[in-house]
Amino acid sequence: EFMENVVRSAPLHDIGKITVSDVILNKPGRLTEEEYEIMKTHAIAGEQIIDKTIKIIPDADYLVEAKALAGGHHEKWNGKGYPRGLSGEDIPLSARIMAVADVFDALVSKRCYKEPYSYEKAFSIIEEDAGSHFDPKVAEAFLEAKEEVIEIAKSFVIRLIKTNTKTRIPPKISI
């Protein structure tokens, strides 16, 4: 049930970004300190949005996990993350899992401010940051599943390209 709730919740991890200006979200360069502080508010905003949703749909158990994901996926194992500076196992397990997946996705995806990294480079960064940014056990499990992760990432890119071709939007992701 936990894993099912995490899978259902994962797409909501950044829902709080709807409260952040597109000017900041789509900025092609590095964010200023002020812009970064605004960007960081999306974690708490996400928790608040999901909390309101829980009150409307109380029987959706996965939303409790979604709230933990939204609020905790930028926390770091060493306590240097945000929004609360949680560390170690004080960070909800679902958020620790999402942190690895979210960073990997950010690394291998093209963004308006960067080109995608190779899968190997992204795996290397996850490995280097295990024990500081990431829960070492979660990072280890992720790295042990490299081949499956690559297959999932590639299938997502293929679906995205097919969807963009149908809507005539040029894809922004390279394989």
The predicted-structure confidence for 25-60, as pLDDT tens digits, reads as follows 999 888 999 999 999 999 999 999 999 999 999 788
Nearest to 131 by CA among 120, 143, 121, 148: 143
> What per-residue confidence (pLDDT) applies to 171?
47
| pLDDT over threshold 80, residue 79 | yes
Nearest to 63 by CA among 78, 47, 41: 47
> What per-residue confidence (pLDDT) applies to 161?
61
> What per-residue confidence (pLDDT) applies to 17?
97
By CB atoms closer than 10 A (0-12, 13-18, 19+), residue 157 is middle
Range name among 67-76, 104-113, 139-148 with the lowest pLDDT average: 104-113
Q: In this structure, what token pair is assigned to residue 9?
A: 């919740």
Angle at CA 93, nearest 5°, toward 90 and 95? 90
> What per-residue confidence (pLDDT) applies to 112?
81
pTM of this prediction? 0.86
| pLDDT over threshold 80, residue 160 | no
Please report, rounded to a whole number, the percentage of residues in the chain having pLDDT higher than 70.
Answer: 89
| pLDDT over threshold 50, residue 170 | no
| pLDDT over threshold 70, residue 73 | yes
Range name among 108-112, 126-130, 143-147 with the lowest pLDDT average: 108-112
Q: Rounded to the nearest 5°, which phi and psi values hold at 26?
A: -105, 15
Angle at CA 93, nearest 5°, toward 90 and 143? 120
